[in-house]
């Protein structure tokens, strides 16, 4: 769909079928519950890459043609112009996310472990602080 080096001809316009938005890294049960709400909607996923969290909305651009070309190629948005086939979803190996949540249940399981560990570390810090004060 972009500077096609041949790879796009084999692809089905994957990069035009979703968009990702950075979201705040969750720290509290409330934060996780907000993200759970995203995941209750159809066509949403959440992934973590380099410790940054993203909402992935699977919704095809209205300008993607059935042959996977772009109906507004000459005036396509900057984000499309800057996207390089050499580092795209299909050709890059950089899409090996640390976490990828496809459902609210998956996120809840991760949140339980994360919050348990956070509480454990907080208790440990508290014990050490009290021991130093004695
Ligand atoms: S995902 Fe990559 S190969 Fe597929 S259309 Fe987009 S740029 Fe081309
Ligand atoms: S504007 Fe064109 S290149 Fe950009 S996402 Fe839509 S179909 Fe793809």
Q: 7: which residues sit within 8 A by CB, 6+ positions away?
A: 85, 88, 90, 91
Judge whether residue 48 has pLDDT over 60. Answer: yes
Q: What is the average pLDDT across 87-113? A: 86
CA atoms within 13 A on the CB side of 48: 10
Whole-model pTM?
0.81
Residue 61 has pLDDT above 70, yes or no: yes
**Mean pLDDT, residues 63-70:** 92
Q: Which contacts of 85-89 are long-range, i.e. CB under 8 A and separated by 24 or more positions?
A: 85/2, 85/3, 85/4, 85/5, 85/7, 85/8, 86/5, 88/2, 88/7, 88/14, 88/15, 89/14, 89/15
pLDDT digits (tens, 9 = 90+) for 10-30: 778 889 999 999 999 999 999
Query: Residue 108 C-alpha to ligand 1 middle, in angstroms?
Result: 32
Question: What mean pLDDT do residues 62-78 have?
Answer: 94
Q: What is the pLDDT of residue 10?
A: 76
| CA 90–ligand 2 middle distance (angstroms) | 16
Ligand 2 neighbour 70 (Cβ under 6 A): yes
Q: Tell me the mean pLDDT in the region 81-94.
A: 76
Q: Give the residue among 67, 66, 59 at the shortest CA–CA distance from 16.
A: 59
Amino acid 8: pLDDT: 76
């Amino acid at each position: 769909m972009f500077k096609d080096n041949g790879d796009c001809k084999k692809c089905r316009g994957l990069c035009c079928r979703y968009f990702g938005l950075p979201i705040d890294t969750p720290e509290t049960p409330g934060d996780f519950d907000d993200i759970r709400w995203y995941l209750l909607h159809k066509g949403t996923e959440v992934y973590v890459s380099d410790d940054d969290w993203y909402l992935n909305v699977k919704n095809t651009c209205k300008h993607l043609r059935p042959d996977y070309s772009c109906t507004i190629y000459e005036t396509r948005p900057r984000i499309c112009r800057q996207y390089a086939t050499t580092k795209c979803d299909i050709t890059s190996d950089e899409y090996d996310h640390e976490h990828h949540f496809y459902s609210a249940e998956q996120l809840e399981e991760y949140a339980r472990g994360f919050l348990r560990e956070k509480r454990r570390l907080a208790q440990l810090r508290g014990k050490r602080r009290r021991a130093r004060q004695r």
